[in-house]
Amino acid sequence: MKIRPAKVGDVPTINDLIRTFADRKLMIRRSLGELYESIREFVVAVDEHGTVVGCAALHVFWEDLAELKCLAVSETVQGRGVGRMLVDECWRAAQEMDLDTVFTLTYVPEFFEKCGYRQIDKAELPHKIWNECVRCPLFPNCHETALIRTAEPVDEAVREAFAAASAGR
């Protein structure tokens, strides 16, 4: 399995992966236009045949805050570490950009906890991150769990990252 930056030609497959889980109300549906516009945020997992079998995106919100989103792995390869490789690549990319705080919203918090994330209260997230949530069919009755990964101890990092992001609301 290889992880690489997504290419424009990967968008239809990324769309199919996301749609599979969005149809089950496990993630937000994305339009093709959104995916093309944000293609530079995506990484993909490619199997030995060159087929895209997973995707994830890292979206920067503020000078010290990003979101890991759109994590989707084909059911044919789940359980083989593909999701973990995508999450790790997004964390590496965040670190390269000097971003020490990455959050995610998910229905499978256990997976992200195994990847170094810790649960936080959604109310601690800055308001600006909710702009996508209003498009979700489950809004405002969302039961996703908010998790955060930081390069420093969680309590201090959470306070600093969200204070800075909230100041820019």
Q: Which pair of structure tokens corresponds to residue 54?
A: 């997973």
Number of domains in the chain: 1
Q: Determine the structural domain holding residue 154 and report its residue range.
A: 2-167
39 close to 3: Cβ distance less than 8 angstroms: no
Count the Cβ atoms, other than its own, within 10 Å of residue 20: 15
CATH number at residue 139: 3.40.630.30
* Torsion, CA 79, CA 85, CA 91, CA 95, rounded to 10: 160
- Please identify which residue in the block is written with the tokens 């906890």: 113
Instruction: Give this prediction's pTM.
Output: 0.83
**Helix runs in 46-117, H state only:** 82-96, 109-114
Q: How far apart are CA 36 and CA 38, in angstroms?
A: 6
The two beta strands, 118-120 and 101-106, are unpaired
Retrieve residue 36's tokens: 């093309």
pLDDT tens, N- to C-terminus, the chain (169 residues): 999 999 999 999 999 999 999 999 888 889 999 999 999 999 999 999 999 999 999 999 888 899 999 999 999 999 999 999 999 999 999 999 999 999 999 989 999 999 999 999 887 777 656 666 655 555 566 678 889 999 865 455 455 555 555 555 4
The first and second tokens of residue 117, run together, are 């994330």
